[in-house]
């Protein structure tokens, strides 16, 4: 008999992620690609890729999540990223109390209940402050590749103060710090500190309770996690599957 698997696809504003899990809830195939202009095309190719890597086409129900969850035709059911991240993070860290997900265009803080269901949450508002986009803009201003921004920040002993959390205002602050001769390391550290502060205050609105787990693309940036931990006064765990927790939660719902 064919093994029962679950498929979850997380259509984020920047990247689309897909996973197949087996009946033990282990990820057996995964794929990530940029969402681009068509959420549907991205979701279809992610589905093809995970099926290919799994080795066979699967006719089981697909659960979609993420901002583009309603835009794709291959999904049988759509569930918000709040519920999916919460379930996904809980699956990896069953004790988790607070999940912080920082993606390319949005960020969220979720209080995770005992069954992995969210009990409260906060999302960033319309602007890009406190999202991966903020770091991208700042990396461009500092003229370093985005992957280089975190390591650069970790070299600083003395972060500059970037007081604005608004991307547009922070950009001009960074430019004036550069012209006043501050080192790129200190500026990069200040940028992470400012961003961590913004996420921390959003998280405070749902309550800081350990263990705290950070996910999303930005959680892969060690400087961000470091400053976020300092702002929250808590250690932060980052799962290996940091970018896939939403898709994982969706896959868990699909297998149920």
Partner 1 sequence: MASNDSKERAYRKLESSSLLQQTMFRYMLEAQAASEEGKLAWVTSGFPVEIPLAMGLGVSYPEQYTAVVGSQKVGPEVCGFAEDLGYSQELCSYARAGIGSTDRPDDSPLGGLPEPQVLLACNNICGTVLRWYEAVSELTGAPVFLLDTPPVQRRQPSHHKEYVRAGLEELIDFLGEEFDTSLEEEKLQEVASNSTKAIDLWTKSLEACKHKPSPLNCADRFLAMAPVVSMRGKKHILEYYESLLDEVEGRVQQGIGAIRNERVRLLWDNIPPWFSIYKFFNGLAKRGVVFPADTYTHAWTGSLEGEGILNRMVDIYSNVYLNRGLRAKVDKMTGLIEEYDLDGFVMFSVRSCKRYSLGQLVSKDLVTERTGVPGVVIEGDMVDSRLFNEAQIQTRIDALIEMIE
Q: Which positions touch partner 1 (CB under 8 A)? A: 67, 79-83, 117-121, 123, 125-126, 205
- For partner 1, give the closer residue by CB, 43 or 225: 43
Least distance (Å) from partner 1 to the CB of residue 23? 24
Phi, psi at 233, each rounded to 5°: 70, 30
Least distance (Å) from partner 1 to the CB of residue 113? 9
Task: Say if residue 66 is preceded by a cis peptide, omega within 30 of 0.
Answer: no
Q: Could you tell me if residue 65 is left (phi over 0), alpha (psi between -120 and 50 degrees) or otherwise beta? A: beta
Evaluate whether 121 touches 93 at the Cβ level (below 8 Å): no
Least distance (Å) from partner 1 to the CB of residue 101? 13
- For partner 1, give the closer residue by CB, 67 or 227: 67
Return the closest-CA partner of residue 234 out of 94, 98, 31, 70: 98
Task: Name 160's Cβ contacts closer than 8 Å, sequence gap at least 6.
Answer: 177, 182, 186, 187, 189, 190
- For partner 1, give the closer residue by CB, 84 or 214: 84
Query: What strand order describes the sheet that includes 98-102?
Result: 118-123, 107-112, 98-102, 212-215, 236-237
- For partner 1, give the closer residue by CB, 80 or 245: 80
- For partner 1, give the closer residue by CB, 6 or 66: 66
Least distance (Å) from partner 1 to the CB of residue 193? 24
Give the integer Cα–Cα distance in Å for 197 and 216. Answer: 17
- For partner 1, give the closer residue by CB, 37 or 57: 37
Give the integer Cα–Cα distance in Å for 196 and 109. Answer: 12
Least distance (Å) from partner 1 to the CB of residue 158? 34
Least distance (Å) from partner 1 to the CB of residue 84? 9
Least distance (Å) from partner 1 to the CB of residue 118? 6
- What is the bridge-based pairing of β-strands 62-65 and 6-11? parallel
- For partner 1, give the closer residue by CB, 67 or 244: 67
Query: What is the largest distance, in Å, between two alpha-carbon atoms of the chain?
Result: 68
């Amino acid at each position: 008999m064919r093994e029962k698997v679950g498929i979850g696809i997380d259509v984020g504003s920047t990247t689309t992620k897909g996973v197949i899990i087996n009946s033990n809830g282990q990820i057996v195939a995964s794929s990530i690609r940029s969402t681009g202009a068509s959420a549907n095309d991205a979701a279809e190719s992610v589905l093809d890729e995970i099926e290919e890597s799994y080795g066979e086409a699967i006719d089981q129900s697909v659960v979609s999540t993420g901002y583009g969850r309603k835009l794709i035709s291959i999904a049988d059911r759509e569930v918000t990223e709040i519920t999916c991240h919460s379930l996904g993070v809980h699956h990896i860290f069953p004790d988790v109390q607070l999940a912080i997900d920082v993606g390319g265009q949005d960020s969220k803080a979720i209080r995770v209940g005992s069954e992995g269901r969210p009990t409260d949450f906060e999302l960033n508002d319309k602007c890009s402050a406190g999202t991966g986009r903020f770091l991208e803009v700042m990396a461009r201003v500092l003229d370093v590749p985005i992957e280089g921004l975190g390591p650069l920040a970790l070299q600083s002993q003395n972060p500059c103060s970037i007081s604005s959390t608004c991307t547009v205002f922070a950009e001009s602050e960074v430019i004036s710090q550069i012209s006043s001769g501050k080192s790129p390391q200190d500026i990069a550290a200040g940028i992470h500190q400012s961003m961590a502060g913004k996420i921390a205050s959003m998280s405070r609105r749902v309550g800081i309770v350990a263990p705290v787990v950070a996910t999303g693309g930005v959680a892969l940036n060690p400087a961000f996690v470091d400053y976020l931990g300092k702002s929250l006064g808590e250690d932060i765990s980052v799962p290996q599957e940091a970018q896939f927790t939403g898709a994982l939660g969706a896959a868990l719902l699909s297998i149920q």
